[in-house]
C-alpha cells in the first residue's frame, strides 16, 4: 500500500487512484483493459434484438422470414429483368425495364430501411427513474407494498377530450406513453406500436411506419407491374407462335411459371395489405388499435380517435411526411461512467464509496476501516444465504447499496474475483478498490431508493440474472458468489 | 469556507448527489413531446419557481417546433420519400437540428442558472424523452465535514458532518 494517501486530502478520486495503480494485483490488468475498451450501448441492450455493423443496423431476433422476403423479391425481379425485359423493351418500349428498375430500387430501399431501423424503441427506465415512479405509485396507492404485487398500475390522461389509460410496463419499468405497446417478441416498448412484422424482421412503430407503408405500396406496384408484363410477354409470344409453343420454346418458361405464381399470390395479399394500411393512415390508427377496437363506435357513442386530425389528407401527411423523431436508444454511443451517484447517509461507508466526493479519510487506517465496512456490508446478504459462514452484524446503510456492488460485480467482472482468495487480506483490500472504481462506472442504487425492490439492476446489465425469489441473491453466478464470499471472509479477519 | 456558487465542473467534483427530481411528460395534447410545468416541491428551496417554469416552457416550445407539421416538414418528407429515404444517409433532419439547439440551451441553462444553485438538468433525450431529470446536489464543502487532516475526528464526525447539511 502506498504512503501517498496523506497528500491529497480533497481529491479523493486521485487518492484512490494512487492506491490502486501502485499495487501490483493481478486484477489490475483485466480491469485496465476493460477501461480502455469502452463498450457501445448496443452491446448491453436489454431487449431481444440483433445488431449488425457495430450498432448501425437493428433487427428482431428471428430474421429467417426476412431473408425469405428478400429472396422472393430478388429472384422474381431478377427473372423478370433477365427474361422478360429484353423481349418487352424491344417489342413495346424500353421504358418498361426503366420503370421496373425504379420500382425495384424503391422497394429494396424501403424494405431495408424498415428492417434495419429502430422502430421507436423506448429505453428502459434508469434505476433512479424507476425508483421515483415506484415511490409515487406507493404514495398514490396509500400503502407501502409488501411482498405481493399491487394491482395493475394505470394512469389516466385526457387527450383531446378522450380518456386514455396509460399502463405501467413491468419489464421496462415505465408508464407507457399513449399508443405505445410492449412487443413480446422483441421485449421492448415501442412508440406508436403498429405490429411486429416477421416479413421485415422487425417491429413496425413510429419511426419506421412510413418506410413500411412505402414498402408495401411500392411492392404492390412492383408485383402488379411484373405480373402484368409477364402475362403480356406470354400473350405477345403466343400471338406469334401459339400459346403452347410460346411456353415450350421460350427459355423463360420456368421463370414465367415462377413469376406468375409468386406474383399472383403476392398481388392479392400485398395489395390487400396496402389497402388496409391506407385506411389506417387516413384514420390515424395503428394496427394494434384497430384490432383492439380502441376507437370504434361499438364501444360507445362518445368514443372517437383523439389522435386524428379530422381530415384524411392531414392524417396522411402527418403519418408520411411528418417529422422523423430520432432514435432514443443511442445504439452506437459509448457507455459513460456516470457522475457520482451516491449520496451520503451519515456513516463512513458511503463516504468512501463516493469516489469523487471530498472525503475526510485520507488516512490509511481509515481507508481500510471503511473498506472493511463496505465489504462486510456487502458480504452480509451473501453470507446470509450461506449460513455456514458467520458474519458480523452490521447496520446496513441500505440494502440497495449492497445489491449495487454485488450486481456490478457480476456485471463488470465475470472472472476476476477468482483471484481474490489467493491474496492476503491486505492486497485483498486493494483488489476490492479497483472493483469499486469500476462500480462507479455503473449506476449505484442510492439508499434512498431502498423502498423499491432491490431487484432493480442497472438496466444495462448484459448478463441476464436469474431473478430468484430472494431479491438479494443477485450474484447469480455461483462461483463468483463463492469467490467473493471467500475473499470477504479473509478480509474480515483483518 | 468553500464558496457556495459552483461552476458546472466544480459541481461534479465537489458536491455529492442528494436526490433526483423527475419532471414527467404532459400527454394532454396527445403524443407530442411536452413536459409538465408543475413545480416540484423538492425544488422549493433551491430555485425560483418562475425560472424553472421558464426553462420548461422554453423546452416545450423547442419540442413543439421540432414536431411541427407544416410546409417545411412536408417538403422534407416528400423529398425523402422521392429518394426512397436514401437522403437520410447524408442529410440531418429538422428534428435533429432542433435537438442540437435544445442540448445547447440546456447546457447554457445549467451553466448560468442551475449549477450555481447546486442543480443539474439532464437532457430528456438521454432519458428516452420521458422525463426531465433534475439532479439536486448537496454541497459537501459547506457542511464542514471534509477537513482533511483529522482522521479520528472525521470517523466519528463523518457521520455528523454529512448529517449536518
Percent of chain A with pLDDT over 70: 55
Four-point Cα dihedral A394, A395, A396, A397, nearest 10:
-130
pLDDT tens profile A404-415: 444 333 333 444
Q: Is the pLDDT of residue A250 over 50?
A: yes
Four-point Cα dihedral A311, A317, A319, A323, nearest 10:
-130
Average pLDDT over residues A366-386: 48
**What is the per-residue pLDDT for A493?**
53
pLDDT tens profile B128-138: 888 899 988 88
What is the C-alpha to C-alpha distance for residues A316 and A204, in angstroms, rounded to an integer? Answer: 17
pLDDT tens profile A393-438: 444 444 434 334 443 333 334 444 444 444 444 444 444 444 344 4
pLDDT tens profile A35-66: 567 788 888 888 888 998 888 899 998 899 99
A311-317: which pairs have CB atoms within 8 A and are 24 or more residues apart?
A: A312/A282, A312/A283, A314/B69, A315/A281, A315/A282, A315/A283, A315/A284, A316/A281, A316/A282, A317/B69, A317/B74, A317/B77
Q: Determine which one of A169, A189, A197, A203 is catalytic.
A: A197
Helix (H) or strand (E) holding A323: none
Q: Is the pLDDT of residue B16 over 70?
A: yes
B138 contact residues in A (CB cutoff 8 A): 343-344
Q: Which residues pair with B23 in a beta bridge?
A: B132
**What is the per-residue pLDDT for B165?**
38
Percent of chain B with pLDDT over 70: 75
Q: Who has greater pLDDT, B18 or A183?
A: A183
Q: Which of A98-107, A310-319, B61-70, B112-121 has the highest average model confidence (pLDDT)?
A: A98-107
Non-local CB neighbours of A56 within 8 Å, separated by 6+ positions: A116, A331, A332
Do residue B66 and residue A320 have CB atoms under 8 angstroms apart? no
User: Secondary structure of chain B in the HEC alphabet?
Assistant: CCCCCCCHHHHHHHEEEEEEEEEEECHHHCCCCCECCCCCHHHCCCCCHHHHHHHHHHHHHHHHHHCCCCHHHHHHHHHHHHCCCHHHHCCCCHHHHHHHHHHHHHHHHHHHHHHHHCEEEECHHHHCCCEEEEEEEEEHHHHCCCCCCCHHHHHHHHHHHHHCC
**What is the per-residue pLDDT for A426?**
43
Average pLDDT over residues A251-257: 67
Q: How confident is the model at residue A248 (pLDDT cuts 50, 70, 90)?
A: low
Do residue A339 and residue B149 have CB atoms under 8 angstroms apart? no
What is the C-alpha to C-alpha distance for residues A205 and A188, in angstroms, rounded to an integer? Answer: 11
Q: How confident is the model at residue A272 (pLDDT cuts 50, 70, 90)?
A: very high
**What is the per-residue pLDDT for B115?**
86
Do residue A178 and residue B14 have CB atoms under 8 angstroms apart? no
Q: Is the pLDDT of residue A17 over 70?
A: no
Q: Which residues pair with A159 in a beta bridge?
A: A162
* A178, A339, A348 member nearest B155 (Cβ): A348
Helix (H) or strand (E) holding A382: helix A364-384
Residue B156 contacts A, CB cutoff 8 Å: no
**What is the per-residue pLDDT for A256?**
74
Q: Who has greater pLDDT, B153 or A72?
A: A72
**What is the per-residue pLDDT for A252?**
54
Average pLDDT over residues A307-318: 87
What's this model's pTM, rounded to 2 decimal places?
0.66
Q: Which of A333-342, A460-469, B76-85, B94-103 has the highest average model confidence (pLDDT)?
A: B94-103
- Establish, for the pair of chains A and B, how many residue pairs have beta carbons separated by less than 8 Å: 180
Lowest mean pLDDT among A64-68, A130-134, A217-221, B107-111: A130-134
Lowest mean pLDDT among A2-6, A238-242, A340-344, B103-107: A340-344
**What is the per-residue pLDDT for A190?**
93
B41 contact residues in A (CB cutoff 8 A): none
Average pLDDT over residues A154-181: 88
* Nearest CA-CA partner of A333 in B126, B23, B134, B121: B126
**What is the per-residue pLDDT for A404?**
40
Percent helix, strand, coil in chain A, to 5, is 55, 10, 40
Four-point Cα dihedral A444, A447, A449, A450, nearest 10:
120
**DSSP assignment of A144-187:** ---SSPPSPPEEEEEETTEEEEEEEETTTTEEPPTT-EEETTTT
Do residue B81 and residue A361 have CB atoms under 8 angstroms apart? no
Q: Is the pLDDT of residue A335 over 60?
A: yes
Q: Is the pLDDT of residue A104 over 60?
A: yes
Q: Who has greater pLDDT, A46 or A249?
A: A46
Do residue A347 and residue B159 have CB atoms under 8 angstroms apart? yes
A186 is catalytic: no
Q: Is the pLDDT of residue B104 over 90?
A: yes
**What is the per-residue pLDDT for B155?**
43
Q: Where are the domains of chain B?
A: 8-139
Residue B57 contacts A, CB cutoff 8 Å: no
Distance from CA of B35 to the nearest CA of A (A): 13
Residue B146 contacts A, CB cutoff 8 Å: yes
Non-local CB neighbours of B33 within 8 Å, separated by 6+ positions: B25, B60, B63, B64, B66, B67, B124, B129
Do residue A360 and residue B161 have CB atoms under 8 angstroms apart? yes
Q: How confident is the model at residue A16 (pLDDT cuts 50, 70, 90)?
A: very low
Q: Where are the domains of chain A?
A: 50-121+190-331, 123-139+151-176
Name the B residues in 10-49 with CB < 8 Å from any A CB: 12-22, 25, 27-31
Residue A113 contacts B, CB cutoff 8 Å: yes
**What is the per-residue pLDDT for A298?**
73
Do residue B81 and residue A164 have CB atoms under 8 angstroms apart? no
Q: Is the pLDDT of residue B127 over 90?
A: no
Average pLDDT over residues A16-34: 46
What is the distance, to the nearest Å, from the Cα of residue A26 to the centroid of all Cα atoms in its chain? 34
Amino acid at each position: 500500500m502506498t504512503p501517498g494517501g496523506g497528500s491529497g486530502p480533497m481529491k479523493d478520486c486521485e487518492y484512490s487512484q494512487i492506491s490502486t495503480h501502485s499495487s501490483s494485483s493481478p486484477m489490475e490488468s483485466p480491469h485496465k483493459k476493460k477501461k480502455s475498451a469502452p463498450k457501445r450501448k448496443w452491446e448491453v441492450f436489454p431487449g431481444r434484438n440483433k445488431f449488425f455493423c457495430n450498432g448501425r443496423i437493428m433487427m428482431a431476433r428471428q430474421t429467417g422470414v426476412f431473408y425469405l422476403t428478400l429472396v422472393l423479391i430478388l429472384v422474381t425481379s431478377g427473372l423478370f429483368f433477365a427474361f422478360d425485359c429484353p423481349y418487352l423493351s424491344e417489342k413495346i418500349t424500353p421504358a418498361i425495364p426503366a420503370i421496373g428498375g425504379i420500382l425495384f430500387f424503391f422497394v429494396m430501399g424501403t424494405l431495408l430501411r424498415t428492417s434495419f431501423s429502430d422502430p421507436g424503441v423506448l429505453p428502459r427506465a434508469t434505476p433512479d427513474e424507476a425508483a421515483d415512479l415506484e415511490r409515487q405509485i406507493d404514495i398514490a396507492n396509500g400503502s407501502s407494498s409488501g411482498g405481493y404485487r399491487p394491482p395493475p398500475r394505470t394512469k389516466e390522461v385526457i387527450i383531446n377530450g378522450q380518456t386514455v389509460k396509460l399502463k405501467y410496463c413491468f419489464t421496462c419499468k415505465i408508464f407507457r406513453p399513449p399508443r405505445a405497446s410492449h412487443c413480446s417478441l422483441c421485449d421492448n416498448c415501442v412508440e406508436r406500436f403498429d405490429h411486429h412484422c416477421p416479413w421485415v424482421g422487425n417491429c413496425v412503430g413510429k419511426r419506421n411506419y412510413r418506410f413500411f407503408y412505402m414498402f408495401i405500396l411500392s411492392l404492390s406496384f412492383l408485383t402488379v407491374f411484373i405480373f402484368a408484363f409477364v402475362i403480356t410477354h406470354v400473350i405477345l409470344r403466343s400471338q406469334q407462335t401459339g400459346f403452347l409453343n410460346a411456353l415450350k420454346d421460350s427459355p423463360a418458361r420456368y421463370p414465367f411459371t415462377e413469376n406468375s405464381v409468386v406474383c399472383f399470390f403476392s398481388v392479392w395479399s400485398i395489395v390487400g395489405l396496402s389497402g388496409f394500411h391506407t385506411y389506417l393512415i387516413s384514420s390515424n390508427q395503428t394496427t394494434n388499435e384497430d384490432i383492439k377496437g380502441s376507437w370504434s363506435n361499438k364501444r360507445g357513442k362518445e368514443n372517437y380517435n383523439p389522435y386524428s386530425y379530422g381530415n384524411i389528407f392531414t392524417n396522411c401527411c402527418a403519418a408520411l411526411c411528418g417529422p422523423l423523431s430520432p432514435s432514443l436508444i443511442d445504439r452506437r454511443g459509448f457507455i459513460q461512467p456516470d457522475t457520482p451517484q451516491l449520496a451520503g447517509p451519515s456513516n463512513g461507508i458511503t463516504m468512501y464509496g463516493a469516489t469523487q466526493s471530498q472525503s475526510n479519510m485520507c488516512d490509511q487506517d481509515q481507508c481500510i476501516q471503511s473498506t472493511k465496512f463496505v465489504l462486510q456490508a456487502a458480504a452480509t446478504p451473501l453470507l446470509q444465504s450461506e449460513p455456514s459462514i458467520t458474519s458480523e452484524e452490521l447496520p446496513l446503510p441500505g440494502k440497495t447499496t449492497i445489491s449495487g456492488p454485488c450486481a456490478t460485480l457480476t456485471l463488470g467482472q465475470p472472472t476476476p474475483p477468482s483471484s481474490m482468495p489467493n491474496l492476503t487480506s491486505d492486497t485483498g483490500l486493494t483488489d476490492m478498490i479497483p472493483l469499486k472504481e469500476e462500480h462507479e462506472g455503473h449506476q449505484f442504487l442510492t439508499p434512498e431508493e431502498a423502498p423499491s425492490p432491490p431487484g432493480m439492476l442497472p438496466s444495462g446489465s448484459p448478463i441476464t440474472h436469474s431473478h430468484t425469489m430472494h431479491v438479494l441473491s443477485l450474484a447469480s453466478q455461483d462461483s463468483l458468489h463463492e469467490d467473493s464470499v471467500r475473499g470477504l471472509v479473509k478480509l474480515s479477519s483483518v | 469556507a468553500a464558496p457556495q456558487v459552483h461552476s458546472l465542473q466544480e459541481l461534479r467534483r465537489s458536491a455529492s448527489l442528494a436526490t433526483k427530481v423527475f419532471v414527467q411528460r404532459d400527454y394532454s395534447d396527445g403524443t407530442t413531446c411536452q413536459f409538465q410545468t408543475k413545480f416540484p416541491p423538492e425544488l422549493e428551496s433551491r430555485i425560483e419557481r418562475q425560472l424553472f417554469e421558464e426553462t420548461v416552457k422554453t423546452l416545450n416550445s423547442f419540442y413543439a417546433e421540432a414536431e411541427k407539421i407544416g410546409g417545411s416538414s412536408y417538403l422534407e418528407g416528400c423529398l425523402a420519400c422521392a429518394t426512397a429515404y436514401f437522403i437520410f444517409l447524408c442529410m440531418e433532419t429538422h428534428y435533429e437540428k432542433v435537438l442540437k439547439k435544445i442540448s445547447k440551451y440546456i447546457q447554457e441553462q445549467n451553466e448560468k442558472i442551475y449549477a450555481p444553485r447546486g442543480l443539474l438538468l439532464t437532457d430528456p433525450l438521454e432519458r428516452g424523452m420521458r422525463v426531465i431529470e433534475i439532479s439536486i446536489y448537496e454541497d459537501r464543502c459547506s457542511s464542514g465535514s471534509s477537513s482533511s487532516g483529522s482522521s479520528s475526528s472525521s470517523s466519528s464526525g463523518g457521520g455528523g458532518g454529512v448529517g449536518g447539511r
